[in-house]
Amino acid sequence: MREQAMPVSAWMLQHADLRSGQRVLELAAGPGDTGFMAAQLIAPGGVLICSDGAEGMLAIARERAAQLGLGNVEFRQLELEWIDLPTADVDVILCRWGLMLALDPAAAVSECRRVLKPGGRLVVAVWDAAERNPAMTVPGSAAVSLGLAAPSPPGGPGPFALSAPGALAELLGDGGFVDPVMETVAVSREYASVREWIGETLDLSGMFRQLWRELNSDARQELISEAAARVSEFTAVDGSLKLSGRCIVAAADA
């Protein structure tokens, strides 16, 4: 995942305007991929606050930071809608693939604005439309088409909650951010086989994993076959897959 996500992280770091001595907050950090690269760019004197809502993810991030020998990282369990930090506390906020999962994205953006110093910068990435990200959507849609799962209700948090044209720009503007820079970044997800792709989906999606557990072996095979048929145009002769995807990225000033 770190390799697949590198184009997105690289864009974020390029537009974060990082300098030594800064105080940087990464929200929804997961294993810390983007933030740990930032931690190296703000040394000496800078501090990265690596945060996530799940303590399990922070445990993984702590282990990875130790392996990388990073001594300028603090770890905090924080929620996006209520960032338990003082007002005007950080210079830069990074949030890769977290904002669209917030129960209240507007509250999350408002909190980012609050904890940033005047002139600070917010850099975020969200997923573009579902049809532009088949690696994430085809397994679930295949299950729905086979009658194995119900369609997800419209609205609410989810990977594509901020994918509509202009949605992210409007959210940032309403939250008090100015001078936004917005682009799209392509990502590529490669797998040795359809089964490897389905396996990664099981690792990354709790909803799909729960569905899978409820299926018998015949239904599982039917689902794999349906998913494979839907991505046949991306499948090589040896059975390997290369699925394209796209993210929306933005940087804006407080």
Token duo for residue 72: 């300028």
Taking all residues of the chain, what is their mean pLDDT, rounded to a whole number?
96
pLDDT digits (tens, 9 = 90+) for 132-190: 999 999 999 999 999 999 988 878 899 999 999 999 999 999 999 999 999 999 999 99
Domain that holds residue 13: 2-253
> What pLDDT is stored for residue 3 in this prediction?
84
> What pLDDT is stored for residue 252 in this prediction?
98
pLDDT digits (tens, 9 = 90+) for 233-243: 999 999 999 99
Main-chain phi, psi angles of 98, to 5 degrees: -120, -35
Low-confidence ranges of the chain (pLDDT < 70): none
**What separation, in Å, do the N-terminal and C-terminal C-alpha atoms of the chain show?**
30
What global pTM score does this model have? 0.94
8 A C-beta contact, residue 235 and residue 195:
no
**Tally of structural domains, the chain:** 1
> Who contacts 158 (Cβ-Cβ below 8 Å, separation ≥6)?
100, 101, 152
Indicate which CATH number applies to the domain containing 233: 3.40.50.150
> What pLDDT is stored for residue 4 in this prediction?
86
pLDDT digits (tens, 9 = 90+) for 183-192: 999 999 999 9
> What pLDDT is stored for residue 119 in this prediction?
96
